[in-house]
Structure 1
Amino acid sequence: MANTTQICFRIDEEVKQNAEKALDDMGLTMSAAITVFLKKVGREHRIPFEITADPFYSAANMERLQRAAAQMERTGGTVHEIGALSDDD
């Protein structure tokens, strides 16, 4: 048997429960799934899936929200359609 080590980390209980249910449906234990993940990271030297930012926090959306807030202040708190904002607003 290969040398083994133990890793301890904290994770939100709901995240853990959801993952355990999904992994159980796949016939995997949490330990087996994490081992698969870490072996792939070690072999490929990358995270084995795409990691993207929430588009809500993108620079373009933050600018759009700031323009909408400015428009609301100018118009007394009413914005009927954000998409109608021009680049000048």
Structure 2
Amino acid sequence: MSQAIVSIRMDSELKKNLEAVCTELGLSMTTAFTIFAKKMVREKRIPFDVAIDPFYSDSNLRHLQEGIKELNVGHGISHDLIED
């Protein structure tokens, strides 16, 4: 089977993070994109939901980051463990 080169532009930080995840999974980025392409061709659809998850909204992420800052300076709520 002949090979073709595909060039993709993406944010450098995204690329770095993607490479880290691929490495953790024991894959190269080429293998990851090939898996994606094969699945898309086989199913004739994007193989995952494309939707906006409100959890990742800018306002929610800011809220979570502020909460983490508050916890780190000791302004959080402590919960005791409940034993069975």
Paired residue for 1:38?
37
Distance in structure 2 (CA, Å) of the matches to 1:27 and 1:11 = 21
Q: Tell me, which stretches of 5 or more residues in structure 1 are unaligned?
A: 57-89
How many residue pairs get matched? Answer: 55
Q: Which amino acid aligns with 2:10?
A: I
Report deviation, 1:3.
1.2
1:51 aligns with 2:45: no
Cα deviation, residue 9, structure 1? 1.7
- AA paired with 1:51? V
Q: Give structure 1 regions of 4+ aligned residues with deviation exceeding 4 angstroms.
A: none
Give the Å deviation of 1:44. Answer: 0.3
TM-score scaled by length of structure 1: 0.58
Q: Secondary structure at the match of 1:35?
A: helix
Identity over aligned pairs, percent: 40
Instruction: For structure 2, list consecutive stretches of 5 or more residues without a partner in the other structure.
Output: 58-84
Aligned to 1:14: 13
Hey, what does 2:23 align to over in structure 1? 24
Give me the whole-angstrom Cα distance separating, in 2, the residues matched to 1:43 and 1:21. 27
Q: Greater relative contact order (Cα 8 A, min sep 6): structure 1 or 2?
A: 1
**2:5 counterpart SS class:** coil
Superposition CA RMSD, Å: 1.2
Q: Which residue identity does 2:36 align to in structure 1?
A: F
